Structure 1
Amino acid sequence: MEYLIFALTILAFIVLIMFKGFLDDRKKRADFIVWLRNNYGTLPRREEIKPEEFERISCYFRRHEAKGYYVDDITWNDLNMDSIFKKMNYAYSAAGEEYLYHLLRTPAQDTGKIERLEKHIRFFMEHEEERIKFQVFFAKLGRTGKHSIYDYLNYLDLLGERSNKKHYWGDLGILFSLLAMFFSVSAGVVLLLFFICRNIIVYFKIKNEIEPYITSFGYILRLLRSVDDIVRLSSEGFEEEMEELKACRKKMSRFKSGSYIIMSSARMSASGNPIEVLLDYVRMTFHLDLIKFNNMLAEVRKNIDTIDRMLTISGYMEAAIAVGAYRTSLGGAYCLPELNDYEGLHIENMYHPLIDNPVKNSISTKRGILLTGSNASGKSTFLKTVSLNAILAQTIHTCLADSYSGSPYRIMSSMALRDDLSGGDSYYIVEIKSLKRILNQAESADRGQDRENLDSARCFCGNKVLCFVDEVLRGTNTVERIAASTQILKSLAKGNVICFAATHDIELTHLLENDYDNYHFEEEIQGDDVVFNYRLMDGRATTRNAIKLLRVMGYDEDITRSAENLAEEFIAKGVWKAHE
Structure 2
Amino acid sequence: MNTNASKSFIKRDLNATKDKKRNFKQIKTLFNLSEKNEFTLDDQTWDDLIMDEVFHEVDRTYSTEGEASLYEMLRNPIMDEEKLKERGKLIDLFKEDLDLTVDLRQILYNMIYDSKNRLIEMLNEFLSVSKLKYYLYSILGILPIVTILAAIIFKEPNFMMILMVNIFVNMYFHNKENDTINVIGLVYLRDLINAAKKLSGIKNHEIKSYTIKMKNLLKELSNIDKSTYLLKVLNSFGGLLEVFSIPFLIEEITYYRISGKLLGEKDKILELYYLVGELDALTSVAIYQINNAEKCSTPKFIKETSLKITEGIHPLLKKPVANSVDISKKGIVLTGTNMSGKSTFLRMISTNILLAQTFNFVLAKGYEGCFLNVVSSISPKDDIVNGKSYYLAEAECILRIIKASENEIPVFCPIDEIFRGTNPLERISSSAEILNYINKRNGICIVATHDRELSDMLKENYDFYYFSEDVDSKVGLKFDYKLKKGISKTRNAIKLLEYIGYPKEIIKNSYKRVERMEGYV
Q: TM-score range by the shorter chain?
A: over 0.9
In structure 2, the partner of 1:500 is 446
Taking the aligned partners of 1:188 and 1:521, their CA distance within structure 2 comes to 87
SS at 1:415 equivalent = coil
In structure 2, the partner of 1:327 is 289
- CA contact 2:200–2:210 (8 Å) conserved in 1: no
Q: CA deviation at 1:427?
A: 1.9
Taking the aligned partners of 1:172 and 1:87, their CA distance within structure 2 comes to 52
Q: CA deviation at 1:167?
A: 2.2
Amino acid at match of 1:143: Y
Q: CA deviation at 1:66?
A: 1.0
Partner residue of 1:267 out of 223, 229, 235: 235
Amino acid at match of 1:471: E
Gaps of 5+ in 1: 1-23, 449-462, 575-580
Amino acid at match of 1:487: E
Taking the aligned partners of 1:423 and 1:81, their CA distance within structure 2 comes to 21
Q: Flag the structure with larger Rg.
A: 1
1:342 aligns with 2:317: no
Partner residue of 1:486 out of 432, 437, 442: 432
Partner residue of 1:557 out of 504, 511, 517: 504
Taking the aligned partners of 2:335 and 2:423, their CA distance within structure 1 comes to 19
Taking the aligned partners of 1:139 and 1:263, their CA distance within structure 2 comes to 18
In structure 2, the partner of 1:299 is 261
1:377 aligns with 2:351: no
User: Residue by residue, what CA displacement relative to the aligned partner does 1:494-533 show, whole Å, maximum 9, x if unpaired?
Assistant: 2411100011111101110001001111223345433221
Taking the aligned partners of 1:37 and 1:397, their CA distance within structure 2 comes to 24
User: Relative to structure 1, is the Cα distance of residues 422 and 342 closer, same or farther in structure 2, using a 3 angstrom cutoff?
Assistant: closer
Map residues 521-560 of structure 1 onto 2, 5 A cutoff: 521-528=467-474, 529-560=476-507
Amino acid at match of 1:362: S
Q: CA deviation at 1:430?
A: 1.9
In structure 1, the partner of 2:10 is 36
Taking the aligned partners of 2:157 and 2:53, their CA distance within structure 1 comes to 69
User: Residue by residue, what CA displacement relative to the aligned partner does 1:36-56 show, whole Å, maximum 9, x if unpaired?
Assistant: 212323223x6332xxx1000
In structure 2, the partner of 1:426 is 389
User: Relative to structure 1, is the Cα distance of residues 515 and 418 closer, same or farther in structure 2, using a 3 angstrom cutoff?
Assistant: same
Taking the aligned partners of 1:329 and 1:357, their CA distance within structure 2 comes to 16
Amino acid at match of 2:9: W
Taking the aligned partners of 2:461 and 2:362, their CA distance within structure 1 comes to 28
- CA contact 1:389–1:400 (8 Å) conserved in 2: yes
Map residues 371-450 of structure 1 onto 2, 5 A cutoff: 371-419=334-382, 421=384, 423-443=386-406, 445=407, 448=408
Single out whichever of 413-422 and 306-315 deviates more from structure 2: 413-422
1:100 aligns with 2:70: yes
User: Relative to structure 1, is the Cα distance of residues 348 and 561 closer, same or farther in structure 2, using a 3 angstrom cutoff?
Assistant: same
Taking the aligned partners of 1:411 and 1:248, their CA distance within structure 2 comes to 35
User: Relative to structure 1, is the Cα distance of residues 548 and 417 closer, same or farther in structure 2, using a 3 angstrom cutoff?
Assistant: closer
Map residues 464-475 of structure 1 onto 2, 5 A cutoff: 464-475=410-421
Q: CA RMSD in A?
A: 2.3
SS at 1:69 equivalent = coil
User: Relative to structure 1, is the Cα distance of residues 561 and 515 closer, same or farther in structure 2, using a 3 angstrom cutoff?
Assistant: same
User: Relative to structure 1, is the Cα distance of residues 420 and 161 closer, same or farther in structure 2, using a 3 angstrom cutoff?
Assistant: farther
User: Residue by residue, what CA displacement relative to the aligned partner does 1:140-176 show, whole Å, maximum 9, x if unpaired?
Assistant: 2232122342221111345656532212332564536
User: Relative to structure 1, is the Cα distance of residues 262 and 472 closer, same or farther in structure 2, using a 3 angstrom cutoff?
Assistant: same
Q: CA deviation at 1:203?
A: 3.2
- CA contact 1:334–1:398 (8 Å) conserved in 2: yes
User: Relative to structure 1, is the Cα distance of residues 542 and 182 closer, same or farther in structure 2, using a 3 angstrom cutoff?
Assistant: closer
Amino acid at match of 2:5: R
Amino acid at match of 2:373: R
1:47 aligns with 2:15: no
- CA contact 1:177–1:189 (8 Å) conserved in 2: yes
User: Relative to structure 1, is the Cα distance of residues 194 and 404 closer, same or farther in structure 2, using a 3 angstrom cutoff?
Assistant: same
In structure 2, the partner of 1:567 is 514
Partner residue of 1:223 out of 184, 192, 203: 192
Taking the aligned partners of 2:44 and 2:422, their CA distance within structure 1 comes to 21
In structure 1, the partner of 2:167 is 196
Map residues 126-275 of structure 1 onto 2, 5 A cutoff: 126-158=96-128, 163-171=133-141, 173-174=143-144, 175=146, 178-179=149-150, 185-206=156-177, 208-211=178-181, 213-264=182-233, 267-270=235-238, 272=240
- CA contact 2:385–2:393 (8 Å) conserved in 1: no
SS at 1:257 equivalent = helix
- CA contact 1:119–1:237 (8 Å) conserved in 2: no
Q: CA deviation at 1:248?
A: 0.5
Q: CA deviation at 1:177?
A: 7.5
Q: CA deviation at 1:559?
A: 2.3
User: Relative to structure 1, is the Cα distance of residues 423 and 172 closer, same or farther in structure 2, using a 3 angstrom cutoff?
Assistant: closer
User: Relative to structure 1, is the Cα distance of residues 168 and 216 closer, same or farther in structure 2, using a 3 angstrom cutoff?
Assistant: closer
User: Relative to structure 1, is the Cα distance of residues 158 and 423 closer, same or farther in structure 2, using a 3 angstrom cutoff?
Assistant: farther
Q: CA deviation at 1:117?
A: 0.6
Q: CA deviation at 1:353?
A: 1.9
Taking the aligned partners of 2:299 and 2:424, their CA distance within structure 1 comes to 40
Single out whichever of 146-155 and 57-66 deviates more from structure 2: 146-155
Taking the aligned partners of 2:516 and 2:184, their CA distance within structure 1 comes to 73
Taking the aligned partners of 2:139 and 2:13, their CA distance within structure 1 comes to 56
Taking the aligned partners of 1:310 and 1:378, their CA distance within structure 2 comes to 43
Taking the aligned partners of 1:524 and 1:204, their CA distance within structure 2 comes to 68
- CA contact 1:392–1:398 (8 Å) conserved in 2: yes
User: Relative to structure 1, is the Cα distance of residues 158 and 429 closer, same or farther in structure 2, using a 3 angstrom cutoff?
Assistant: farther
Taking the aligned partners of 1:161 and 1:438, their CA distance within structure 2 comes to 51
User: Residue by residue, what CA displacement relative to the aligned partner does 1:39-97 show, whole Å, maximum 9, x if unpaired?
Assistant: 323223x6332xxx100001111111413221111111111111110111110001101
- CA contact 2:142–2:248 (8 Å) conserved in 1: no
Taking the aligned partners of 1:467 and 1:511, their CA distance within structure 2 comes to 19
State the TM-score, normalized to the length of structure 2: 0.93
Amino acid at match of 1:195: N
Q: How many residues align?
A: 517
Gaps of 5+ in 2: none
Taking the aligned partners of 1:234 and 1:108, their CA distance within structure 2 comes to 28
